[in-house]
């Protein structure tokens, strides 16, 4: 019986990487669901049609479905028709800034769209692993209450209890999430509930900064991709508050796809994992400028704004110990420097590419 994978958000960073990995490395036939909603949310800079064309040209057997996950009847019909061996749900409205301007679109996409997919899976293929791309924004700004120490180029945790980063046991309550964070909390909890209540093989992956060479980054979402684009074009990059020392852990989309494959091979019910690059792949904005300049040969143009984004983290990196305990064969393979090198190289090459 051939293995089939249904991927939502297939033209995006994670969806396209997962589509490629499961096709080339694992022999799956991939069905991608995407309607280029990112261009609606973010304008031409967020357009992902180039990635859709790339997948259709490069991946044997890849099939594209122009479908909006908010369309419940269409989602139910497609999942019933395909009965996929596994589902990776990475479609989303991904910006916590943008959500405030489009609250219904945000919630309907992130929360209701996820529910549509979960119920379709329960009805049509309840034994198929369901992997949901959640976010570290489910923790809201609660991580900002952790005692911090200011270093020369970054903030870091002063409390030794967080030396390895934020674990899955960290509270998601009594904090400011942004409307995006709240809609993703709803989806995250629903994914857990379908796993625990119906005993479905589900997991929510609370991603940090997901990145890689196929990211259509914009100012409101896609930190490293947008930073590299600004650097190469000589455009101004806006640094929002926290002295530019705010810290994120970055994980290459390939390592995300590899973890999803590990979960699909040995699924568990109703799990959550903090999926990020960990402390080793963490960086501040100033540090990211320096690494990018190293590979591009261009000085970063920037403006500092003495205001932070609502609900934004000062310092966040993922504690990866639960993931490594449950899936000891998985590990980070792409370093931060290598990831930025690839983004620089890919951004340059796409300027002269048909994609």
Residue 355 placed within a domain: no
The secondary structure of 125-183 as a DSSP string is -TTS-EEEEEEGGGGTTGGGGS-EEE-SS-EEE-SGGGTT-B-TTS--SSS--HHHHHH
Is the torsion defined by CA of 258, 261, 263, 266 positive or negative?
negative
What is the per-residue pLDDT across 73-95, written as a single tens digit (0 to 9) for each?
999 999 999 999 999 999 999 88
Residue 317 placed within a domain: yes
What's residue 260's pLDDT? 98
What is the per-residue pLDDT across 34-60, written as a single tens digit (0 to 9) for each?
998 888 887 887 788 999 999 999 999
What is the per-residue pLDDT across 158-179, written as a single tens digit (0 to 9) for each?
999 999 999 999 999 999 999 9
CA-to-CA separations, 50 to 53, 131, 227, in angstroms, rounded: 5, 25, 20
pLDDT grade for 188, boundaries at 50, 70 and 90? very high
**Residue tagged 């590979």 (tokens):** 295
3-state secondary structure 44-107: HHHCCHHHHHHHHHHCCCCEEECCCCCCHHHHHHHHHHHCCCEEEECCCCCCCCHHHHCHHHHH
Number of domains in the chain: 1
Helix (H) or strand (E) holding 30: strand 29-33
Residue 229 placed within a domain: yes
Q: What is the pTM of this model?
A: 0.93
Strand partners, 132: 89, 204
CATH code for the domain of 210:
3.40.50.720
Residue 19 placed within a domain: yes
What's residue 353's pLDDT? 60
- Domain containing residue 72: 4-350
Report whether pLDDT(355) > 60: no
Helix (H) or strand (E) holding 110: none
Residue 259 structure tokens = 């973890």
Q: Would you call 350 exposed, middle or buried from its count of C-beta atoms within 10 A (0-12, 13-18, 19+)?
A: middle
Report whether pLDDT(241) > 70: yes
CB 340 within 8 A of CB 187: no
Report whether pLDDT(281) > 70: yes
Residue 42 placed within a domain: yes
């Amino acid at each position: 019986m051939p293995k089939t994978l249904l991927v939502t958000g297939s033209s995006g960073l994670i969806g396209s990487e997962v589509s490629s990995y499961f096709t080339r490395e694992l022999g799956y036939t991939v069905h991608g669901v995407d309607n280029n909603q990112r261009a609606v949310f973010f304008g031409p800079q967020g357009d992902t049609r180039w990635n859709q064309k790339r997948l259709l040209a490069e991946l044997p057997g890849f099939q594209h479905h122009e479908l909006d996950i908010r369309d419940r009847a269409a989602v139910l019909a497609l999942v019933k028709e395909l009965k996929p061996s596994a589902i990776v749900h990475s479609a989303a409205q991904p910006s916590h800034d943008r959500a405030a301007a489009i609250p219904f679109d945000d919630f309907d996409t992130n929360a209701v769209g996820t529910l549509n997919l979960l119920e379709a899976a329960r009805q049509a293929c309840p034994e198929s692993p369901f992997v949901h791309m959640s976010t570290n924004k489910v923790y809201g700004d609660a991580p900002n209450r952790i005692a911090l120490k200011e270093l020369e180029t970054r903030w870091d945790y002063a409390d030794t209890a967080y030396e390895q980063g934020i674990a899955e046991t960290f509270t998601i309550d009594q904090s400011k999430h942004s409307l995006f964070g709240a809609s993703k909390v709803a989806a995250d909890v629903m994914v857990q509930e379908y796993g625990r209540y119906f005993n479905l093989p589900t997991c929510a992956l609370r991603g940090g900064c997901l990145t890689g060479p196929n990211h259509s980054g914009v100012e409101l979402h896609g930190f490293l991709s947008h930073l590299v684009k600004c650097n190469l074009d000589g455009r101004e990059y806006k640094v929002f508050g926290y002295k530019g020392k705010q810290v994120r852990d970055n994980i290459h989309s390939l390592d995300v796809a590899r973890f999803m494959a590990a979960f699909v091979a040995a699924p568990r019910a109703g799990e959550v994992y903090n999926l990020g690059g960990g402390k080793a792949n963490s960086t501040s904005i100033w540090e990211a400028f320096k690494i990018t300049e190293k590979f591009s040969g261009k000085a970063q143009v920037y403006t500092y704004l003495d205001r932070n984004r609502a609900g934004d983290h000062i310092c966040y990196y993922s504690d990866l110990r639960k993931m490594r305990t449950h899936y000891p064969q998985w590990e980070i393979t792409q370093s931060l420097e290598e990831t930025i090198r690839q983004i620089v190289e890919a951004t340059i090459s796409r300027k002269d590419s048909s994609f």
